[in-house]
Structures are given as structure tokens and as C-alpha cells.
A and B are shown apart, each in its own frame.
Chain A
């Protein structure tokens, strides 16, 4: 710690020597690296010069000298070297010079370190490091950065077109931009990134417009995926990481969002075709690629929905046209085909949903909405609910026309239940199904109880008990009825005197569960009258408080017809039997006589007589022998009737119940609405008009879609019936009246 003051010039002379040596090292000249002794000397010199008493405290001058050294170095050596270079060479030179500069700053900072400790804080001037960067910034960067930007951008363009470029060089060059920001990203962003993003947008916009014309959808997607990969790679190689999100977003937008509809709807290769050709990979790629774009999936889901809707609607069209073009050999055959097609469609697209679209709920929704569109269309006058019910009926009748195994039946029933969720008028379905179920239970001897119960439990699970409670009752009734019958047989055995002489079975049904049937005040033949009486007697021993109503239209009779060629057993309805038995008494009867004896309405009688005389089996001969029945006809027993079978079934033409079913359902809906409204009011006590309507719709959505006018009407009705009232102050609020 010597006490002599070092004069400035002397001290600076020492420093200059060191600095010159440094410059020589940087210039690559042969020079020994700094020894620690040399370093120490330089450091100590500064140290001493700064610690001297004023006016020999040369801190400020040293600081200025430091700055001047850098400036001079840059001006004399760096700038000239950059001047006459272009393109990549210029870039290389710049990077080299910058690196050199950094080294110089590092060393000088070490030498002048003492200033950093006290002087800069005292005088609030920038630290040595910062000064270093600022010098470079002001003298070099400001001058060259536009040119540099141009060069960099053109290199990137080259790489995009497929050329190899020096990535390390670009990385270094771009780092300069970052470092020039002195801790902020603004230089990088303003002087490079902004234009880079712009050029990228333009580039991909051009490419996209070209590719969209030339390439197929899967190829385009492949290319897009490639480009995105490359850009990410680009970022990790030489761009600053902060650019990644912005860059990717722009590229995605240009390639995928702008042309999405055109892309996915391409004639020969769009989504339609991908589905048709089962291109699972391409579909998955589509999902993957669009998943990364916000709301990208919305666009794809939309196209998906449209596609499914078109396919489904095409099937419906097909069914409509097929039926109008030719007479179908199986009634409703085309509808069966339609349901099968729709089920298949559903299966197919569910598979796609799971495999390609990761069961994403956007796509689930799209599928649902698409199906809702065409599953509610009326085909050839039958509402879709009816078609579906017929389809189920078909399957359940002894396994349908083809011998289906149990598993297949179960599966198909499962699918039917699934399809039902898309049908809006579920209560219509329920009614049709109930009617068909009744027929199956009463007439179709081969019904499989297990299947019936299984589909009912599936329906109950999906849609709730109200839908299925009556039907379950029906199935149980049939089982109970069998028990009744066996106890009735026992009764007859125990009381042989009351036996009416005819073998007969009675099925007792609970009225509420079964569809309502028209009641005919038929005059039974005497043999049957006895049967009825006997059973009534038996039933009264069982229960006292029930009333029996006899529905003969649902009954079946086996009659032995003694025809001349051979006796034939006829299986007919009880009504038909009643008609035929009249001919036991007389050979020939006129229409009016029959009417008088049977006490039936004209429509019904005409149907009956038609089935016996003008249809396939002419058991009665009609005079005149026209194809239709008129009230002036007369009928004769046909003794010559024969058939190759020993036992034949004489069917009755079915009545078209469709209108009736729909009417019945419509009649019940207001009650359902009432019940829902009251339930809601009871729990809420007070509620606004809007809310009430929306909650009612929601509650009823499991069964059907109520229309708002109907709901309003019911609300008014309930108000007049004092179930609820309008709030005195606010006419949009309702209050529950207990």
C-alpha cells in the first residue's frame, strides 16, 4: 500500500499497455495470454488511482476513459470490418465482432472492477457491463440492425424453401437482438420479431392458398402438421422461446383456420370421404391438429355434424322413395331397413368418436344434434317414434324374421334404447310400444319373457319409471293370468257340474296398465255365454270388489269346420267365431240379419265379413261376389272350402291405430305438463315466468318437448283452479297456493 500518488497519465499508461495487449489477443495476433501478475498489476493500478485522495482520485476520469476506449475500439476496428460485407458474411462478421466485444468488456470490467463497486453507485451511472453493451448498441447496432433483419429473414425464407442454412449463426445473430434490449425484449420484438411474424403470415398464406387448390385433404393436413413441426423446431434452434406461441398461432391460423371449411368439405377427399373410406389415421390427425387451435375443434365438429346429418337424412329419403316407388312386400319393410341403417350409422360414428376424436364432448354433442335432426322425421306418414317401436316389435316377435341369437337380440335392443334418446316424442314411442307389446303378449305365443323384461329395464334405466311402469304391469299381468287360469282349472275340476262343455282360457288384465280397447256389446253365441257365467262365478270366489269387462275382440277361438273335402280347424278371433257360429243355425244370412243378431257396429262387421268371405280364405260365400261388402249382401256357408293345411289362421285386417295413438298421447300431454308445473311450484314456492317455463321443459324433456304456448295455457288453467297465483306486484312472478 504505497503512499505515492500515481499520476493519471502514468497510471493510464499502464492501462493502455494492457488494453493494447487485449486488442492484439482479440485480433488473433500471437500474444501470450494475461498472466495473473499482469492482471493484478492492472487491477491494482486502478485500485490505487481510485483510492487516492482528491484531487488525485481519478475515478471519474477512469470511467470516462473506459468508455472512450470502447468507443474508439469499435469505431476504428469494428465498424470498418462490417462496412464492406454483405449477406451471410456480414452476419458472420457481426457475430464475431460482438463476441469479441463481449470478451473485451469482460476483461476491461475486471480491470476496472473497482469502479463498479463504489463509483457507479455514488454517481448513479450505469455499471461497466451496461456501458459496454450500450457502446456497441449505439455505435454498431443502431446502424446495422435493419440490414441484419433483412439478412436473417431472407435466410429463414431460404430454409423454409428447403435449403440448409447455418443455424448456429442465426442463433447468435438473434441473441444480439435480445442482448441489445438490456434486459427487456423490446429490441428483439421491435427490430425483428414483428416483421418476422408478418413475413411468416404472408409466407404461409401463399402456401395455403396454393395447397388448398392442389392437395387432397389428408395431404394438406400432413403438410400442415409438418410445417408446424418445423416451425417449433425453428424456435428451439435459433429463435427466442418467447416467439413460439405467437408464431405457432399465426401459422395455425393461416394454414388451418382460414381454409377450414374448404378443406374439410373437399369433394374427393374431405371429411365425407375420410369417413367413407374409414381413414382412421387421417381423421385422428385432423383431430390432433385442430385440437391445438382454440376453437379449432368447433369448426371440425360442425363439419362432422353436417356430414352425419346428411348421411342420416339420405337414409330417410331412401326409405321414403323406396316405399313410394314400389309396393313393398313386407309392410313397413323399408322402415325396418331404415332403422337398421340408422343403427349402423350410429355404431360407425360412435367408433369414430372413440377412436379418432378421443370421445371429445364437442363431437359427442355434434353427433347427438345430428341424430336428433333425422331421428325425428316422419317417413311415409309414420312418425319416427312409431318406426322405432315397430322395429323393436319385430325383433321381439320370436326373434324377428331371421333366427337371431340371444346375444344379438340383446345387443340390438340395447341399440334401440340408445337410439330412442334422440327421439323427441318419447311418449309417442311408449304408446306405440305398449300397443304392440299388448298384441305380442296376447297373441304371439313365442314371446320371450326375458327379452321383454330386459328391454323394459333398459328403458327404465335410461328414461325413468314413468315410461315403463305400465308396460311392466302388463308383463306381470300375463304371468299372473296364467296362475289365475290354473286355479280356474282346479275350480272346474272341483265343480264339474258348472263346466260349460267348452275348453276355454281367460286372461285377466289390469285395466290401467293396458291400452284402452273399444268395447263391443257383442251378443255371444250361447255356448260362450255359459263360459262367461262360469268364470264370473269363479272370479267372485276370489275377489269381491272387482268388475270384469269382457274384451272379446282380443280373444281367439278354435273352430272345427266340417267342410266337405276335409275338416279343417280354423283359428279366428272371437268376433269372427261369433259370426261363423250363426251359420250353425241357418245356412244363409243376410247382412242385416247378422247385424241384428250380433249387435255390432257397421264398420266392425264389414271388416269381419270381409275377412271371412273376400280375403284369402273364402269360408263364406257372398252374394253378389264382389270384392267389397255392402249392406245388401247375403252370406252362405261354403261347404266346399278347403286348404292344404289342416289348421289355418284367418287373420283380421289390422285397424290403422296410428292416428288414435297420436291423439291419445296428445290428450295426455296437458296432464303431464300440469303435474310438472305443480311439482315445480311446490318446491320453489315463488318463481319467475321465464324460469318456470324453462324448468318445465327440462323436467318433461325425458318424455317429450312441450311447446311454450301449451305450457302457458296450462299455467292459466292452474291459476283458475287456484293451484297458483300471479304475484300482486310483479306480474312475471308466480306464487304457489297450497
Chain B
């Protein structure tokens, strides 16, 4: 996995998630950030748990757009916080 094609997402509690750039692009905001430099984005307001779920969502969204229509399961406890994120991230 080449360095260049990945993006690092850092949560509020400093957990690092490295995902493909393609996946990250699902979020228009991150897409905009990632254009800058370093390929590293920090989200001081998003916790690691949420961020993890978000990364999963990115991959699922990619799969879905490529034709694989599966379900995306969300644990109910996460839903409230999870819903704020997309607004911010524009996904």
C-alpha cells in the first residue's frame, strides 16, 4: 500500500486511522482537506469510536457505488453522535 494513496484521519483522542484516499473522498470536506498537504487530517471534535464507524461507512459507500448492495449496520448507541458527523463532513 503506497503512502501516497492513503489519508490519515486523527480523532479527538488521538487515534489514527489510515484509509485509502478513495474512501476518504466520499466526504467532500475531507476531499478538500486532503488536497492540501500531508494527507493528514485531525478532527478534534470527533471521537475515535465515531471516526472508526465513519471509516467503515466510507468503504461501504464505495462498495455500494460499485454495485455490491449490502447493508450497513449501525449500533443504536452510536446513532446520535454519528448523525452529526456527516453534516460536518459532507457525506
- A positions within 8 Å CB-CB of B: 1-2, 33-37, 39-40, 43-44, 47, 51, 110, 113, 117
B43 CB to nearest A CB, Å: 7
Given contacts A1-B84, A51-B87, contact A36 B40 (CB under 8 A): yes
Write out, one digit per residue, whether chain B residues 38-59 have a CB within 8 A of any chain A CB (1) or not (0). 1011111100000000000000
Which residues on the B side are within 8 Å of A35 (C-beta)? 36-38
For A1, the chain B residues whose CB sits under 8 A away are 45, 81, 84
Is B42's CB under 8 angstroms from A40's CB? yes
Task: Say how far A241's CB is from chain B's closest CB, in angstroms.
Answer: 30
Other-chain contact of B88, A33, A37, A47, A110 (Cβ < 8 Å): A47
> Is there an interface contact between B37 and A36, defined as CB atoms closer than 8 Å?
yes
Q: Is the CB of B29 within 8 A of A36?
A: no
B43 CB contacts on chain A under 8 angstroms: 40
Q: Are B29 and A43 in contact (CB under 8 A)?
A: yes
Query: Closest approach, in angstroms, between the C-beta of B32 and any C-beta of chain A?
Result: 5
Q: How far is the CA of A35 from the CA of B88 in the complex (A)?
A: 19
Docked-complex contact B45 and A33, CB < 8 angstroms: no
B33 at the interface (CB under 8 A from A): yes
Q: Chain B interface (Cβ within 8 Å of chain A)?
A: 28-29, 32-34, 36-38, 40-45, 81, 84, 87-88, 90
Count chain B CB atoms within 10 A of each CB in A40, A113, A117 and give the residue with the most. Answer: A40
A498 to B43 Cα, complex, angstroms: 138
Pull 26 A–B residue pairs with CB atoms less than 8 Å apart, ordered by A.
A1-B45, A1-B84, A2-B45, A33-B37, A34-B36, A35-B36, A35-B37, A35-B38, A36-B41, A36-B42, A37-B42, A39-B33, A39-B36, A40-B33, A40-B42, A43-B29, A43-B32, A43-B33, A44-B45, A47-B87, A47-B88, A51-B87, A113-B29, A113-B32, A113-B90, A117-B90
Contacts A1-B84, A39-B36 known; 14 new A-B pairs at CB < 8 A: A33-B37, A34-B36, A35-B36, A36-B33, A36-B41, A36-B42, A37-B42, A39-B33, A40-B33, A40-B41, A40-B42, A43-B32, A113-B90, A117-B90
Q: Which residues of A contact B44 (CB under 8 A)?
A: 40
A128 to chain B, nearest CB (A): 13
CA distance A51 to B28 in the complex (A): 18
Q: Which residues of A contact B40 (CB under 8 A)?
A: 36
Chain B hits for A51, CB < 8 A? 87
Cα–Cα distance between A39 and B40 once the two chains are bound (Å): 12
Complex Cα gap A43–B27 (Å):
14
Known: A1-B84, A51-B87. A36 touches B36 (CB 8 A): yes
Q: Cβ of A117: which chain B residues have Cβ within 8 Å of it?
A: 90
Alpha-carbon separation in the docked complex, A252 to B38 (Å): 56
Who on chain A is nearest to B88 by CB?
A: A47
Which residues of the partner chain B approach A43 to less than 8 Å between Cβ atoms? 29, 32-33
Q: State how many angstroms separate the Cβ of A132 from the closest Cβ of chain B.
A: 16
Closest to B40 in A: A36
**For residue B29, which residues in chain A have a CB less than 8 angstroms away from its CB?**
43, 113
Complex: A165 Cα to B32 Cα, angstroms: 38
What's the minimum C-beta distance from B36 to chain A, rounded to whole angstroms? 5
**A113 cross-chain contacts in B, Cβ below 8 A:** 28-29, 32, 90
The docked-state distance in angstroms from the alpha carbon of A541 to that of B28 is 115
Chain A residues within 8 Å of B33, by CB: 36, 39-40, 43
Top 6 A-B pairs ranked by shortest CB distance? A36-B33, A36-B36, A110-B32, A1-B45, A36-B41, A1-B84
B45: A residues at CB distance < 8 A: 1-2, 44
| Cα distance, A449 to B43, chains bound together (Å) | 106
Of all chain B residues, which has the CB nearest A51? B87
* Distance in angstroms between the alpha carbons of A662 and B58 in the assembled complex: 99
Assembled-state Cα–Cα distance A35/B38 (Å):
8
Contacts of A36 in B (CB 8 A): 33-34, 36-38, 40-42
State the CA gap A297–B42 with chains docked (Å). Answer: 71
Nearest CB on B from A276, distance (A)? 70
Looking at the assembled complex, report how far the CB atom of A160 sits from the nearest CB atom of chain B, in whole angstroms. 42
User: Which chain A residue shows the least CB distance to B47?
Assistant: A1
Q: Which residues of B contact A110 (CB under 8 A)?
A: 32
Complex Cα gap A2–B84 (Å):
12
A43 and B33 CA atoms in complex are apart in Å by: 10
Chain A residues contacting B37 (CB-CB under 8 Å) are 33, 35-36
- Chain B residues within 8 Å of A40, by CB: 33, 41-44
In the bound complex, residues from chain A placing their C-beta under 8 Å from that of B87 are: 47, 51
Task: Collect the chain A residues with CB atoms within 8 Å of residue B38's CB.
Answer: 35-36
Which B residues are CB-close (under 8 A) to A44?
A: 45, 88
Closest to A34 in B: B36
Contacts of A33 in B (CB 8 A): 36-37
Min distance, Cβ A6 to any Cβ of chain B, angstroms: 13
Residues of B close to A37: CB separation below 8 A: 42
Min CB–CB distance A48 → chain B (angstroms): 9
Q: Which residues of chain A come closer than 8 Å to B32, judged between CB atoms?
A: 39, 43, 110, 113
Q: In the assembly, what is the distance between CA of A110 and CA of B28, in Å?
A: 10
Closest-by-CB residue of B relative to A116 is B90
Q: Give the distance in Å from the alpha carbon of A33 to the alpha carbon of B37 in the complex.
A: 9
Residues of A close to B84: CB separation below 8 A: 1
Distance (Å) between the CB of A413 and the closest chain B CB?
75
Find the A residue at minimum CB distance from B41: A36
Q: How far is the CB of A480 from chain B (nearest CB, A)?
A: 88
- What CA separation (Å) do A224 and B36 show in the bound complex? 52
Which of A36, A40, A44, A113 counts the most B-chain CB atoms under 10 A from its CB? A36
CA distance A51 to B84 in the complex (A): 11
Alpha-carbon distance between A259 and B81 when the two chains are bound, in angstroms: 79
Q: Which residues of B contact A2 (CB under 8 A)?
A: 45
Which A-chain residue is minimally distant from B38 (CB atoms)?
A: A36
The answer for the CA separation of A37 and B43 in the assembled complex, in Å, is 9
B88: which A residues are within 8 A, CB to CB?
A: 44, 47
Chain A residues within an 8 Å CB radius of B36 = 33-36, 39
CA distance A285 to B81 in the complex (A): 76
Residue of A nearest to B36 (CB): A36
CA distance in complex: A44, B41 (Å): 13
Residue with the highest number of chain A CB atoms closer than 10 Å, among B32, B40, B42, B81: B32
User: In the docked arrangement, what's the CA distance between A36 and B34, Å?
Assistant: 8
Which residue on chain A has the smallest CB distance to residue B46? A1
Alpha-carbon distance A293/B29, docked complex (angstroms): 53
* Cα distance A478–B28 in the bound complex, in angstroms: 100
CA distance A39 to B81 in the complex (A): 23
Residue of A nearest to B34 (CB): A36
Docked pose: A43 CA to B34 CA in angstroms: 13
Q: How far is the CB of A556 from chain B (nearest CB, A)?
A: 101
Which chain A residues border B81 with CB–CB below 8 Å? 1
B12 to chain A, nearest CB (A): 10
| Nearest CB in chain B to that of A2: its residue | B45
Please, which residues of chain B bring their CB within 8 A of the CB of A39? 32-33, 36
Query: Which residues does chain A contribute within 8 Å of B42, judged by CB atoms?
Result: 36-37, 40
Chain B hits for A34, CB < 8 A: 36
